[in-house]
Amino acid sequence: MALADDLSVALKEAMKAKDKPKLDAIRQIQTEIAKKKSEKGEEVNDELVLGVISSYVKKMAKAVEEYQSLGDKGIEMANKIQFEIDFLSTYLPEQLSEEDVEKIVDDVLTELDDVDITQMGRVIGAVMAKGDGIDGSVVSKIVKQKLT
C-alpha cells in the first residue's frame, strides 16, 4: 500500500478514535503534500510523501528546541510537537547511526581519493546517493570533520 493511502487509513482510524493529536499531525502532512503537489505538479508517490514527512519532522525538531527554551510557557507546545515527530517518524525509513554514516563517508573518501574541503558538496552528494536513512546534517558534520 502506498504511503499516501496509509496516511488516509490512519486518518480514518484517528477520526473514529477521536485521537486529536494524530488527526492534527496527519492533516498537517496531507496539507503539505497537497502544497508540494501543486507547486511542482508532481504525482503523489512514496518519494514525495517521504520527502514531505522528513522535511516536516526536521522543521518540527527545531521548533521543539525553541519551545523548550521558553521554559514552562513552551513545554505544552513542545510536547505536542514531539508527539507529532514521534508519530510521523514511524513512516520514515530507519535512520543510520552516526557510526554507520561515518563508515560510508570513509568509503566515499577512499573512492574519490584526494579531496579537500572545497569539494565538500561533491562528497556529501556521493554519500547521500548511497541509500535511504542517511541524515544529511549528520553527513555534513562528519564530512566537515574529516576534510578539515
Residue 83, pLDDT score = 96
Residues 106 and 75 grouped into a single domain:
no
pLDDT tens digits for range 92-120: 888 888 898 899 999 999 898 888 888 88
User: Can you tell me the mean pLDDT for 10-35?
Assistant: 95
CATH number at residue 74: 1.10.1510.10
Nearest to 34 by CA among 22, 44, 21, 47: 44
Residues 69 and 110 grouped into a single domain:
no
Domain containing residue 17: 3-89
| Residue pair 82/62 in contact by the 8 Å Cβ criterion | no
Q: Is the pLDDT of residue 30 over 70?
A: yes
Residues 102 and 81 grouped into a single domain:
no
Residue 134, pLDDT score = 82
Is residue 22 very low, low, confident or very high in pLDDT (cuts 50, 70, 90)?
Answer: very high
Residues 36 and 78 grouped into a single domain:
yes
| Residue pair 55/92 in contact by the 8 Å Cβ criterion | no
**What pTM did the predictor assign?**
0.71
Domain count of the chain? Answer: 2
Residues 143 and 121 grouped into a single domain:
yes
**Of 40, 60, 89, at which residue does a domain stop?**
89
DSSP readout, 52-108? HHHHHHHHHHHHHHHHHTTTHHHHHHHHHHHHHHHHHHTTSPPPPPHHHHHHHHHHH
Residues 112 and 130 grouped into a single domain:
yes
Q: Is the pLDDT of residue 65 over 80?
A: yes
Residues 74 and 115 grouped into a single domain:
no
Mean confidence (pLDDT) of the chain:
89
CA distances (Å), 127 to each of 50, 107, 138, in order?
A: 19, 9, 11
User: Can you tell me the mean pLDDT for 69-89?
Assistant: 92
Is residue 10 very low, low, confident or very high in pLDDT (cuts 50, 70, 90)?
Answer: very high
Nearest to 54 by CA among 136, 140, 144: 136
Is residue 13 very low, low, confident or very high in pLDDT (cuts 50, 70, 90)?
Answer: very high
Residue 90, pLDDT score = 92
**Of 44, 65, 89, at which residue does a domain stop?**
89
Residues 81 and 104 grouped into a single domain:
no
